[in-house]
Structure formats: structure tokens, C-alpha cells
Amino acid sequence: MDREYDQPLDVAALAQGVGMSAGHLSRQFKEAYGEPPYSYLMTRRIERAMTLLRRGDMSVTDVCFAVGCSSLGTFSTRFTELVGVSPSVYRADPDRSTEGMIACVAKRVTRPVRQRG
């Protein structure tokens, strides 16, 4: 999922590959990573989208499809849920720039955090 974040998620195929049922894989995955497979994948997609939006050379729609989302509405909703602002606001906000930061700090600062509640 980390490498192929732009591909559709097939939990059943993943489960079959490791000899588990889809339900068991989902439960084990959530226990190990703190969120179910689809939420984890969406977090990876949003991380990549944040990078693309910071570059500023793609529209929000293009970014949505580039990271593997098929619905702009769902992408925008999940982005806002994880980042706290809409993709267009994030793209336009110059204060979110990581210019001059060392890579490990920039990665930490820009990592989306799922809002619980």
C-alpha cells in the first residue's frame, strides 16, 4: 500500500496472499497499524497529495486522480478530515511551506493526522 498507493485496494487479494480471511486481515492490520487498511491507504494518498499540492504545479482535481482517488468529493472530504483544511486552502497557504527544513523535520510537520472524535 505504501508503494502502490495510487492503485485500488483489494483486501480480499491481500488476505489471500497471506493465507487469511479478509476480516481477519483487517482486524490484524488495525491492531498493528492503528487503523483499518482502507484508512491507512487514504492516509498514504493524502500524504502524497500534500506533497503534490505544495509543489503547486497541479490542480486539486489532477492531484486527486494522481494519488488514486476516483471522486473529488471523497478526496476533498478525507483531505480536510486528515489535514484540517481543504486541498485548495492547503495549496494556497504559503505558511505550510517546508523550504529550508531538513527532510526528517519536514516529513514530521507535514504528516497528516487522523482527527479522532
Q: Domain extents for the chain?
A: 11-110
Domain 11-110 CATH (choose: 3.30.420.40, 1.10.10.60, 3.40.50.10170, 3.40.50.880): 1.10.10.60
- pLDDT of 61: 96
Q: Which three cell numbers stand for residue 43?
A: 492516509
Ranges of residues in the chain with a pLDDT under 50 are none
- Measure the CA–CA gap between 21 and 19, rounded to whole angstroms: 7
Say if pTM beats, i.e. exceeds, 0.85.
no
- Measure the CA–CA gap between 29 and 96, rounded to whole angstroms: 31
Q: Which long-range contacts (CB under 8 A, 24 or more apart) does 94-101 make?
A: 96/54, 97/54, 98/54
- pLDDT of 56: 83
Alpha helix ranges (H) inside the chain: 11-17, 22-33, 37-55, 60-66, 72-83, 87-92, 103-110
